Amino acid sequence: MAMPDGVKTSPDFPIPDTMKAWVLGDPGELTLKDKPVPAPKKAEVLVRIDAVAICGTDFEIINHGLPAIIQGGTPFNKDFTPGHEYMGTVVALGPGVDEYEIGQRVTVEIHAGCGQCKRCRQGMYTSCHNYGKNYGDVDKGHRANGFTTDGGFAEYAVNNINTLIPVADEMSDEEATLVVTAGTSMYGLTELGGLVAGESIVVSGPGPIGLLGAAVAKALGASPVILTGTRDNRLEIGRKLGADHVINVRKEDPVEAVRRLTGGKGVDYVLECSGAPNAVNEAAQMLNRGGKLCLAAFPSEPVPVDVAYLVRNNIYVYGIRGEGKSATHRAEAFMREKRFDATLIHTHTFQMEDLPEALRYARDRVEDAIKVVVRNAHRTASKAVAAE
């Protein structure tokens, strides 16, 4: 493929003119099509996507549209490719890019802020005031791959250099796709104060973010780490990732159990990852006075919250979106150092052409699926050649 002037490529990584990509049509409709391979601009690189993990938000986008925003509205029938938890290999450098090298393995963050608004200047690029105003009639710089620009259910994607995290050669492609999930957990814990050793925490909801939330909290020195949920098999994985105690909320009252485990005091922090209707009120009752609550999930419907209880007990409430404040880099460092084994949540792998089946496994939790990863054939083929 002939790239624009100023874009650097290498014969070691030939780039085709077109690629296979899953395109969103009507709600719930994905079709595998040929699309042009995009070219990187200033401060961007072209990433050959080697593997991509499926996230619960992908289902919201595919079936309902939001939080994806394309051309100022829902992403349906706009030639949009979803998917955001991907990793791959840098194969082309935009004009002036020297921070990365062709052939370098990277995983990605979702958001690149505009760099101009108040929130971006504070490092809060996931709360960019110019969200969704990118690469259209009004180019404000912000992009969120798989949300406002094409994502990872394809063979190639353009990424801003601010969204790239180098990964060690020892880290598998599958594990590298989990860095952004751990980064979201890390961001929540960062907003709670970074967790000094010995502070107590409840992580509610043993989905991918909650499980890695327990792992990151333990790696940061929290004690005890208490994980709550409804599935014993996931709670057992939480134990392996570092949870000191697990509570099945279908078998015992979680508030009473947390109070018992903490001598009646409650915990210092709660990282709420379940999105359950009564999660906020239960989390508040698990906290000691002056404790902090971070909301990393959201209920599907508005829920009542006992604000008076929050005020009377001086409880601080934070909400996070995504993996801001470079938390993904810190999460990758923990994973690189083997502070926890994120691969415990990776349960299934499919090929990109089998994405609909992979989505079914993730959506319906077939065979107790937790994190489902989809691989591109070019990566599978290159690994086979290297092994010969």
Lookup result for tokens 């595919």: 62
Distances (CA, A) of 37 to 26, 84, 307, 351, 376: 23, 17, 50, 20, 15
Please tell me whether residues 22 and 73 are part of one structural domain.
yes
Please tell me whether residues 282 and 218 are part of one structural domain.
yes
Please tell me whether residues 194 and 75 are part of one structural domain.
no
357 within domain boundaries: yes
Complete DSSP assignment for 322-383? SSTTTHHHHHHHHHHTTSS-GGGGEEEEEEGGGHHHHHHHHHHTGGG--EEEEE-HHHHHHH
Please tell me whether residues 218 and 242 are part of one structural domain.
yes
Give the span between the Cα atoms of 79 and 314, in whole angstroms.
48
Please tell me whether residues 281 and 222 are part of one structural domain.
yes
Q: Are 261 and 226 in contact (CB under 8 A)?
A: yes
Strand duo 267-272 + 287-295: pairing: parallel
Please tell me whether residues 159 and 61 are part of one structural domain.
yes
Distances (CA, A) of 182 to 131, 314, 328: 23, 29, 7
CATH of the domain at 156: 3.90.180.10
In total, how many domains does the chain have? 2
Please tell me whether residues 236 and 315 are part of one structural domain.
yes
Please tell me whether residues 149 and 208 are part of one structural domain.
no
Q: Which residues contact 19 (CB under 8 A, 6 or more apart)?
A: 34, 35, 36, 37, 154, 155, 156
pTM value > 0.85: yes
Q: Which domain holds residue 70?
A: 18-110+145-166+341-387
Give the span between the Cα atoms of 14 and 6, in whole angstroms.
17
Please tell me whether residues 274 and 193 are part of one structural domain.
yes
Please tell me whether residues 252 and 350 are part of one structural domain.
no
Per-residue pLDDT of the chain (388 residues; tens, 9 = 90+): 678 889 999 999 999 999 999 999 999 999 999 999 999 999 999 999 999 999 999 999 999 998 898 888 999 999 999 999 999 999 999 999 999 999 999 999 999 988 889 999 998 888 888 887 764 545 667 888 999 999 999 999 999 999 999 999 999 999 999 999 999 999 999 888 877 788 999 999 999 999 999 999 999 999 999 999 999 999 999 999 999 999 999 999 999 999 999 999 999 999 999 988 899 999 999 999 999 999 998 887 888 999 999 999 999 999 998 888 889 999 999 999 999 999 999 999 999 999 999 999 999 999 999 999 999 988 655 554 444 4
Backbone conformation region of residue 139, classed left if phi is above 0, alpha if psi is from -120 to 50, else beta: beta
Cα–Cα nearest to 69, from 133, 164, 5, 116: 133
Cα–Cα nearest to 273, from 312, 313, 226, 307: 226
